[in-house]
Amino acid sequence: MVATRSARRIGLVIVGILVAGVALSGCGKQGSNGAAPRSSETSKTMALDLYTHCGINGVTVNGRYFQHVGGTLDDGSGNPPKGWGNPYQTGTLTISRDLAVFRDDLGHVEKFKVSPGVSGPPILCS
């Protein structure tokens, strides 16, 4: 009976060590400086059909309006530039705090900065 108690205690100790090891190994990949990567905490990427019909002005995401950096991008006549879809361009939008970056499979990369207090484009076109 004494041997059974000792074996049971040893078994419980081993189980405890295994549980602790599994718990610690699930903490995630560590960066080179020992800190966990933060990209998922600071940025979000999502699919987006960017409205381009009147040129590239901005994009509204969750009630926040992001204005195109450098002003409206168009062909000079209020249409999207050559090489862009009309009325939409399919791609992805990566948002990181007050900056959004649109990318598509054609190689377009456009930046947008949040406009505080603005919930949509200042001018609507038809």
22-46 pLDDT per residue, tens = 333 333 333 333 333 344 568 999 9
Tokens of 17: 């060590």
Record the pTM.
Answer: 0.65
Any domain includes 12: no
Q: What is the pLDDT of residue 42?
A: 83
Any domain includes 26: no
Any domain includes 119: no
The parent domain of residue 67 ranges over: 40-114
Any domain includes 79: yes
**Going by C-beta distance under 8 Å and a sequence separation of 6 or more, which residues neighbour residue 112?**
58, 59, 66, 67, 68, 69, 99, 100, 101, 102
Domain count, the chain: 1
57-111 pLDDT per residue, tens = 999 999 899 999 999 999 999 999 999 999 999 999 999 999 999 999 999 999 9
Any domain includes 10: no
d(CA 73, CA 65): 16
